[in-house]
Every structure is written in C-alpha cells, then in structure tokens.
C-alpha cells in the first residue's frame, strides 16, 4: 500500500496567510492519508482537493493535530490538493 504526496516548492504568501499546494497519489488500493504541514503552517483555515479521474475525494482538516490535512479518496486515485492557513 502506497500513499505519496508532494508539496510544491513555491507557496503563495498573503500577509500572515500562506497557500500551500501539492499533489497526491494513492495506489495499491489505498484510500487516502495525512499531509502534515506543521513545518509551514501553524493552522489550516481552508483546504481542498481535486482528483485526476472520476472518484470520490473528501478533504478533512484534522482538528486534533495542528496543521494536518487528511485526504480520503477513492482507491488508486491521484490529484492535487491545496491548503490555506496561518504561517508558522
């Protein structure tokens, strides 16, 4: 089972807010995972994800872990994600 994610090297900064983007890939039957952004964000205000193919994607901001984005996807699905939050 493999869940991989990347974080783009150039985030967008707007005052004390930062927009972070990246990609995800869940293969071998995986249906999502966590993207830990604590090294760039202190908290997440809004987030989203888009799949590269038909399939369910759900984005959850983990309230128990600071600046962690949880993606729940259809099996074997890839796509892009974004998170807007307060800079750390």
Domain spans in the chain, listed from the N-terminal domain onward: 2-87
CATH number of the structural domain 2-87 = 2.60.40.3940
DSSP class per residue in 17-71: EEEEEEEEEEETT--EEEEE-TTTEEEEEEEEEEESSSS-EEEEEESSSTTEEEE
Of 88, 83, 78, the closest CA to residue 24 belongs to 78
Maximum average pLDDT range among 1-5, 42-46, 73-77: 42-46
Q: State the pTM of this model.
A: 0.82
- Split at pLDDT 50, 70, 90, the class of 67 is confident
Q: Count CB-CB contacts under 10 A for residue 15.
A: 7
């Amino acid at each position: 089972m493999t869940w991989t994610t990347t974080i783009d090297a150039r985030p967008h900064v707007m005052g004390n807010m930062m927009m972070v983007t990246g990609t995800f890939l869940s293969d071998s039957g995986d249906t999502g995972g966590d993207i830990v952004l604590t090294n760039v964000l202190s908290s997440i205000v809004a987030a989203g994800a888009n799949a590269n193919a038909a399939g369910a994607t759900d984005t959850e901001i983990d309230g128990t872990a600071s600046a962690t984005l949880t993606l729940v996807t259809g099996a074997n699905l890839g796509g892009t994600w974004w998170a807007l939050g307060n800079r750390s």
